């Protein structure tokens, strides 16, 4: 799996190859995720796993470790809180 990021909407996701179009917004500007994006992805996935473990999601099995949020200079402006 390759970690990919959409240039347009900053959606970061795992995919077997770099897709032609973003699965979120449909833009044709998907590229390989950069090191900071890989780091953020791992961090968010960890938070999501913890929230699933705590039962904050009704059906944890349907929650995908995918993440989309506006990107700021300081990193993802995430609404996730613990
Ligand atoms: Zn996109």
Which residue matches tokens 């996730």? 80
Query: Is residue 30 in some structural domain?
Result: yes
Which single residue is written with the structure tokens 């609404």?
A: 79
Residue 10 lies in a domain: yes
- Identify the domain containing residue 54 by its residue range: 2-74
Counted domains in the chain: 1
Neighbours of ion ligand 1 (CB under 5 A): 6, 8-9, 11, 22, 24-25, 27
* Across 56-75, average pLDDT: 57
pLDDT in tens, 37-50: 999 999 999 998 99
Give domain status of residue 65, yes or no.
Answer: yes
**80 in a domain, yes or no?**
no
* 20: in domain: yes
Q: Is residue 79 included in any domain, yes or no? A: no
* 82 Cβ contact partners less than 8 Å away, ≥ 6 residues apart: 47, 50, 51
Is 81 a member of any domain? no
Confidence label for 81 from pLDDT (cuts 50, 70 and 90): very low
pTM of the predicted model as reported, rounded to 2 decimal places: 0.62
Q: d(Cα 19, Cα 27) in Å, to the nearest integer?
A: 10
Provide the pLDDT for residue 19: 95
Cα 16 to averaged position of ligand 1 atoms, centre (Å): 17
29 CA from centroid of ligand 1 (Å): 7
Q: For the segment 9-40, what is each residue's pLDDT rounded down to a tens digit?
A: 999 999 999 999 999 999 999 999 999 999 99
Give residue 82's pLDDT: 47
């Amino acid at each position: 799996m390759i970690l990919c990021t959409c240039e347009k909407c900053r959606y970061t996701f795992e995919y077997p190859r770099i897709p032609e179009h973003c699965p979120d917004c449909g833009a044709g500007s998907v590229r390989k995720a950069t090191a900071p994006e890989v780091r953020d992805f791992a961090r968010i996935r960890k938070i999501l796993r913890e929230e699933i473990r705590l039962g904050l999601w009704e059906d944890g099995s349907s929650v995908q470790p995918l993440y989309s949020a506006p990107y700021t200079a300081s990193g993802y402006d995430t609404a996730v809180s613990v």
